[in-house]
Every structure is written in C-alpha cells, then in structure tokens.
C-alpha cells in the first residue's frame, strides 16, 4: 500500500466528558471529571462506589439497550454530513445488551423477542443496519482491550484491500453485571479512581462510546482529524485476570504498534495509558513503559480518572481522545492522582498541557491477558511505504470437533452414516483428558475450548504451539453468565461469584487456551451470532503473519435457560445441541498443498444473496470442477430465507453436486459452522461422500474441494481446497 495512508475522517464520542469534539476538548482543558458518587443500581450503602455515567440525554430507539443507543449516537456523529455507507463496521464491546438482559432475567421474562439485542454481536449489526452497511459487521470481545483491537482490525481490513472506509470503535454501558462483578473482585475504589497515585485502590466503572471513521486516501482528505499509523496486539498467556507482573505482553504490544507505524519510541510525543488505577495494572504498565521508553519517557497520562473505565468502550474513547489531543494540541491531565506513586518510576502530567505533538500512543489491556496499542499521528505525518505479505488462507495441519455424538472420530463416523450428531455431550466427558486442576473452576464452554484445542493440536502432530489464537462464539460463557446473575439476584446483589464473573467474558475460553499453549501472539475473540466462526476466520486472515502457526476455533454451549431465549434457532430445535470445531493451521499467502481453508465472502444478505455469493467466489472455471460438495448452513430461525438463498445460489452457479444442510446433523447452535468446517476437512481426507450422506451411492470427491456456506441475514462462504 505505498504512499497511501489511513485517515480518521469522522469522530463520534459520548463519554462522561460530554458528547462530541467541542464538549470533550472543553472538558479535557478544564480537567472535568465525570466520576461521581451516586447510587446507580439500588446497591446497599456499603456497596456504593463512585461511577462515571453519561449524565446527558441522547437519542435512543424504543426497546434498544443503552449500549446500542450510545453506539449509534456516536456512529451518527462520526458519519455526520457524509452521504455514503461504510464498507464495514468493526466494534469492540463486552456487554452487548446486558443492561437490558439482566433486568429481563431478573423479572423472569421468557419471551425470546425481548432478548433480540442481547448478543455482543448485535451492536455491530444494529449499526450496520442503521447505516446501510452491506459489508462485514464484526464484533470483537477481548474484554477491556476490545475498542483498541477493533481499530487494529479496521486498519488491517484497509491495508489488505478488503475495505476503503471502515467505521470502527468501542462501546459499553454501565450495568449491574459489570458493576457487581468488579465489586466482587474488590477492584472498585471507594474514593474514585486515582490512576498512578500512591494510594490508588482500583477503578471507577464508567460508560462510553467512540466511533472513528477510517478512510484510505493518497493524501489527507480536507476533513481529516488525524491518522492512524500503527497498532500492535499481544497476549500475556499468564493469568485469567492479573496482568503479567513485569508487563511483558504490554511491552510487546507497544513495541509492535510503534514498529508498525514505522517509528522509534522517541517519535512518540504523548501516551494515553491504560491506567485503570488498580494496584497491579499501573505497576505492570509502568514496568512495560520503562522497558520501551527507558529514560526518554514522553508526557503521559491516564484519562480514566475523568472518564472512568468503560471496558470495551475505553480503548476507542482513548484513541478518540488521542486524536483530539493531536488535532487540538491538548495533552490531558492525569486527574485523580495527587501523589504519584514513587515506586512506579513514572510521573504523569498532573494538569493538562497545551502542547503540539506529532504522534500519540494509546494503550489498552484486558482480562485474558489481552493487550492492544495504537499509534495515532497528526494528519501530516508521513508513514513509511509498506511492503507486506498478506496471508489469505490457512493450511490446515490438524482438526478436532465436539458434538452431541462426542469427539472427532465419533462425530465423523456418525456423520458419514448420515446419522444425527445433535445433542449435548457431558461436560465431565468433554474434559476427561484434561488436568482436573486446570479445569476445576471452568464451566462448559471453557472446557470445550481446552478439549478442542488439545485434540486439534494432537491431531496436528502435537509438536509446535500456535502463536496466535482466533476464537468465535455466538453467545460466550452462558453457564457463568447465568450463574453469576442468579447468585446476584438471589442474594439481593450481595454475593455473586467473582470466579463466574471473570470466566463470563467472551474471551475467557480463548484466554484459557492461550495460557495452555503459551500463545503470546494475537488472541482474538469474535462474536457474531451464527457467523461467529467465520468472523474468527476473517480475523485470522487479517492478522496472522506468513508462515505463522495459529489455532482457529469456534464453540458454543447449550444452556437450558438462556439458549432458548437468545438463540432463535436453538429455541425452535427439538434436540438441544452444542459443540464446536478447531483447526490448527499455518497462515499462507501462496497456494499450498491442501487442505487449505479460505474465507471467500462475508456480508449482509440482500435480495440477490445467492448471486452475490457466486460472484464473490471469483470462479473462472466451472464450479463443478472446483467443488465436490456444498455444506450449507441453514439456521432454523431463518429457514425460509436461507433455503431461498441456497436455491438462488445453486441456480446461478450451476452447481449440481451433493448439497448437505449440515445443521440437520449438528443440531442448531451458533458455531455449527465450525463443526461443518472440520467435517468438511475430514471428508476431503477420506475423498468420498458415502451413500449415507448422498442418500444414494458413494460419490468420489475426485480431489475437489468443499464449499461451506452460511445463510440467513448474513451470508458467508469459506472453502477448503486440496
């Protein structure tokens, strides 16, 4: 991408500092803190700690959760005056519709339509819908680094030529779930967040949304605010919640971001810290900063003493603040800190400073050891020309799956016979080969994740460890979510389980796998309903380096109470089912000997979805010479639409081979496509579609590939070729 840059041409922000550019800059200049002591959730007097809510009104559609409304308000501000739709929407978010869901569950509401906005992935699809975006709507849930990770993904989509204009950001609203969760972890400072202070005692929970419109251009567009120059992500692979004691992962993310921007540490003029004000974060971040900047520490501050910590929103809010810092020459003060902790060895700006800087670094770290850093530069900074490889495909080296029938072999044998794999396999059986110590506090989905990862790794020869992990889940850890809320409500907000809280984040399963494999590269969790596994594949094809070994997997758990409320297809299914699939793979740009997995299409279904999928396959030859079978994903809730789409695809493509509606075998759950991908790999290894599947006779694949399609409100196409 020589001489082209990525510019921030639109910015929407709703934070405790106000709404929009002017209000935010005014608050930064005057060190206005949005942290206040109020009783937000009718908590007991001894549970009240200061929080940072949005104390202004903003537009919200009826029935839409606060997180979604905040996100849309910020998105509309970012797109104001522009008459196009973004090519893609990428959102970092951790709670989704939880602020609404928790009240519904407390009131024992059992109407699934009330929970339509529960899913973490629904924030991105809601924005895409309202902004008429027909490209991918991706949701990242990597805890408190989600917002920053979203900007990284958006950058890579542009660099890979997948999009020209991407709306990216992060959002989270205050809710009981996170408030009482952090309270149970004793991480809320009763005196309000005091980042980097000698007496700091934890975070103040806040809420916020920030959306940035990123545009590729040869020269700065007239309305450009700043440019995004580089980004880095890493995983500690150390502990589910505690940061690495010497900040190794944080250091790597910062160094990668600076190198990615083509800069040296000395080029950074300001750092917006993660600076949550917990004892551990600030100590670990300070160690990492000293390792990167040594005795040339640039001015730095944490803005969380003003904004509070908005979790998935924080990274995007702080990247927006960095953009404004650069555009308006204002470096924010580290409000809340009166006595900088001498043991940290870094001293923040205690007051705001008017100063022009060319480049700023923004840090975000989260549960699961997820670290992300972004470098933002002034509009006139010139990034270096880039020559980089873009691996597009994954050469599969090992695979595994879990279904109601059991593990890989049991599932595959039943599949070949054309027998249903639907159902739920026992949690104890799933983890029977795992160390009891390792799984003692893990519930279903994290056990599934570890079992899938171990089996795929073993199948791949079990020698080297994957450096990056990509995980897709439609609904995340439902058992922990349900148990946390049940104990919370039963104890009148007093005794929820801290273990359930930390394991309830969507990225907990991937974090467990990273710790097991010591995978310190990218660690990404995507959540997008029935297309979550495909989103994870998209992230892998954007982030994995040439030749890098990765683990790609998807899993969902069936929960008796929650699945029928959240997943409309599961609600209609007669056999409650769950499972997942995992692939060990090597990222590759050049065509390699198979099997090779490639994502061919991902977008929002229009009237001509069948034709769109066909076009995106970019086939010059006859489709029947490339594919020996099509595995079609038909979610029960969208059966009619999906079947029409499939019919249209078949008629446009002229494909006349075997078509398998794979959910008829796997049962209905969001990541059924992960199982389908693994079954496709296994079928290709066998080379024959048996009579049990074709319903007629054995059909040789003749070394042809298999196309795995996802249908419904979004369409996806991934193929496995030899």
- Among residues 631, 650, 654, 639, which one has the least CA distance to residue 701? 631
Which residues have CB under 8 Å from 628's CB, separation 6+?
A: 657, 658, 689, 699, 700, 701, 702, 704, 705, 706
- Using rule CB under 8 A, residue 366 touches another protein: no
Q: Which is nearer to another protein, 246 or 358 (CB)?
A: 246
- Using rule CB under 8 A, residue 450 touches another protein: no
393: tokens are 């495909």
- Using rule CB under 8 A, residue 492 touches another protein: no
Q: Which is nearer to another protein, 413 or 438 (CB)?
A: 438
CB of 440 to another protein, least distance (A): 4
CB of 26 to another protein, least distance (A): 37
CB of 237 to another protein, least distance (A): 16
C-alpha 111/C-alpha 161 separation (Å) is: 42
Q: Which is nearer to another protein, 50 or 595 (CB)?
A: 50
User: Using the 8-state DSSP alphabet, how is residue 467 labeled?
Assistant: S
Q: Which of 29, 290, 494, 600 binds another protein (CB under 8 A)?
A: 494
Q: Is 390 an active-site residue?
A: no
CB of 185 to another protein, least distance (A): 6
C-alpha 711/C-alpha 62 separation (Å) is: 29
Which residues have CB under 8 Å from 133's CB, separation 6+?
A: 85, 86, 87, 88, 89, 127, 167, 604
Length of the chain: 722
Q: Which of 29, 130, 191, 239 binds another protein (CB under 8 A)?
A: 239
Q: Concatenated DSSP letters for 396-458?
A: EEEEEEEBTTBSHHHHHHHHHTT----S---HHHHTTTS-HHHHTT--HHHHHHHHHHHHHHH
Q: Which of 134, 413, 420, 499 binds another protein (CB under 8 A)?
A: 499
- Show the binding pattern over residues 104-143: x = contacts another protein (CB under 8 A), - = does not: ----------------------------------------
CB of 471 to another protein, least distance (A): 21
User: Using the 8-state DSSP alphabet, how is residue 500 labeled?
Assistant: H
C-alpha 167/C-alpha 133 separation (Å) is: 10
Q: Which is nearer to another protein, 237 or 544 (CB)?
A: 237
CB of 441 to another protein, least distance (A): 6
CB of 565 to another protein, least distance (A): 27
- Using rule CB under 8 A, residue 491 touches another protein: yes
Q: Which of 111, 380, 440, 618 binds another protein (CB under 8 A)?
A: 440
- Among residues 585, 575, 573, which one has the least CA distance to residue 470? 585
Q: Concatenated DSSP letters for 631-643?
A: EEE--GGGHHHHH
Q: Which of 218, 343, 380, 436 binds another protein (CB under 8 A)?
A: 436
Cis omega (within 30 of 0) on the bond before 595? Answer: yes
CB of 497 to another protein, least distance (A): 6
C-alpha 580/C-alpha 561 separation (Å) is: 20
Q: Is 26 an active-site residue?
A: no
Please, are residues 93 and 146 in contact by the beta-carbon 8 Å criterion? yes
Q: Is 144 an active-site residue?
A: yes
- Using rule CB under 8 A, residue 39 touches another protein: no
> Please, which of residues 273-332 interact with another protein by CB under 8 A?
279
- Using rule CB under 8 A, residue 240 touches another protein: yes
- Using rule CB under 8 A, residue 502 touches another protein: yes
- Options 68, 118, 133, 144, the catalytic residue: 144
Which residues have CB under 8 Å from 220's CB, separation 6+?
A: 5, 7, 227, 379, 380
Count CB atoms within 10 A of the CB of residue 153.
27
Q: Which of 112, 423, 498, 594 binds another protein (CB under 8 A)?
A: 498
- Options 68, 244, 274, 457, the catalytic residue: 274
Q: Which of 184, 284, 307, 431 binds another protein (CB under 8 A)?
A: 184
- Options 118, 309, 457, 559, the catalytic residue: 309
- Using rule CB under 8 A, residue 656 touches another protein: no
C-alpha 573/C-alpha 112 separation (Å) is: 14
CB of 184 to another protein, least distance (A): 6
Q: Which is nearer to another protein, 239 or 290 (CB)?
A: 239
- Using rule CB under 8 A, residue 185 touches another protein: yes
Distance separating the N- and C-terminal Cα atoms of the chain: 30
C-alpha 477/C-alpha 489 separation (Å) is: 19
Residue in the block written with tokens 């590269």: 521
Residues of this chain that interact with another protein (CB under 8 A) are: 184-186, 239-242, 279, 436-437, 440-441, 491, 494-499, 502
Give the residue numbers annotated as catalytic, written as ranges.
144, 274, 309
């Amino acid at each position: 991408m020589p001489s082209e840059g990525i510019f921030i041409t639109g910015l929407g922000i709703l934070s405790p500092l106000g709404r929009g550019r002017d209000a935010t800059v005014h608050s930064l200049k005057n060190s206005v803190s949005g942290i206040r002591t109020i009783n937000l959730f009718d908590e007991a007097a001894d549970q009240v700690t200061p929080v940072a809510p949005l104390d202004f009104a903003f537009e919200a559609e009826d029935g839409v959760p606060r997180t979604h409304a905040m996100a849309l308000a910020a998105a509309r501000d970012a797109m104001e005056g522009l008459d196009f739709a973004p090519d893609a929407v990428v959102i970092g978010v951790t709670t989704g519709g939880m602020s609404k869901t928790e009240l519904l569950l407390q009131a024992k509401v059992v109407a699934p339509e009330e929970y339509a906005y529960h899913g973490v992935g629904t924030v991105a699809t809601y924005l895409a819908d309202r902004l008429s975006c027909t490209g991918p709507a991706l949701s990242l849930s990597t805890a408190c680094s989600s917002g920053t990770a979203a900007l990284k993904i958006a950058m890579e989509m542009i660099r890979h030529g997948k999009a020209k204009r991407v709306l990216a950001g992060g959002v989270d609203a205050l809710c009981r779930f996170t408030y009482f969760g952090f309270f149970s972890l004793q991480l809320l400072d009763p005196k309000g967040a005091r980042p980097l202070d000698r007496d700091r005692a934890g975070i103040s929970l806040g809420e916020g949304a920030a959306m940035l419109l990123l545009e590729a251009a040869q020269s700065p567009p007239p309305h450009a605010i700043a440019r995004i120059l580089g980004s880095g992500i890493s995983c500690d692979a150390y502990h589910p919640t505690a940061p690495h004691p010497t900040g190794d992962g944080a250091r790597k993310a910062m160094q990668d971001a600076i190198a990615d921007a083509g800069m040296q540490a000395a080029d950074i003029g300001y750092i917006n810290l993660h600076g949550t004000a917990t004892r551990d974060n600030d100590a670990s971040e300070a160690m990492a900063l000293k390792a990167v900047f040594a005795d040339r520490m640039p001015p730095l501050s944490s803005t969380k003493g003003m904004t509070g910590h908005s979790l998935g929103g924080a990274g995007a809010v702080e990247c927006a603040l960095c953009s404004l810092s650069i555009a308006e020459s204002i470096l924010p003060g580290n409000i809340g800190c009166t006595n900088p902790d001498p043991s940290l060895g870094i001293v923040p700006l205690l007051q705001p400073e008017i100063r022009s800087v060319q480049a700023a670094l923004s840090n975000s770290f989260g549960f699961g050891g997820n670290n992300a850093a972004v470098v933002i530069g002034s509009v006139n900074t010139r990034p270096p020309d880039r020559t980089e490889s873009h691996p597009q495909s994954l050469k599969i080296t090992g695979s595994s799956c879990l279904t109601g029938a059991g593990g890989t072999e049991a599932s595959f044998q039943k599949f070949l016979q054309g027998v249903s794999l639907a159902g739920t396999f026992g949690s104890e059986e799933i983890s029977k080969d795992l160390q009891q110590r390792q799984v003692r506090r893990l519930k279903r989905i994290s056990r599934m994740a570890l079992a899938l990862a171990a089996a795929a790794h073993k199948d791949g020869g079990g020698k080297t460890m994957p450096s990056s992990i990509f995980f897709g889940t439609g609904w995340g850890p439902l058992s922990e979510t349900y148990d946390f809320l049940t104990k919370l409500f039963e104890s009148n907000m007093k005794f929820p389980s801290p273990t359930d809280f930390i394991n309830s984040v969507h990225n907990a399963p991937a974090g467990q796998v990273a710790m097991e494999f010591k995978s310190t590269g990218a660690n990404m969790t995507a959540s997008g309903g029935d297309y979550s596994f495909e989103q994870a594949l998209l992230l892998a094809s954007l982030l994995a380096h040439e030749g890098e070994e990765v683990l790609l997997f998807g899993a969902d758990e069936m929960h008796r109470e929650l699945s029928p409320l959240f997943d409309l297809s599961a609600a209609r299914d007669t056999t409650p089912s769950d499972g997942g699939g995992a692939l060990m793979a090597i990222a590759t740009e050049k065509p390699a000997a198979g099997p090779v997995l490639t994502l061919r299409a991902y977008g929002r279904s229009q009237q001509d979805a069948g034709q769109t999928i066909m076009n995106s396959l970019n086939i010059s030859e006859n489709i029947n010479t490339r594919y020996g079978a099509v595995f079609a994903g038909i979610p029960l809730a969208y059966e009619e639409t999906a079947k029409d789409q499939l019919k249209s695809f078949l008629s446009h493509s002229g494909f006349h081979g075997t078509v398998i509606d794979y959910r008829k075998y796997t049962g209905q759950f969001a990541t059924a496509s992960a199982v389908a991908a693994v079954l496709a790999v296994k079928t290709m290894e066998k080379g024959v579609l048996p009579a049990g599947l074709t319903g007629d006779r054995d059909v040789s694949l003749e070394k042809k590939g298999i196309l795995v399609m996802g249908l419904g409100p979004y369409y996806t196409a991934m193929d496995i070729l030899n």
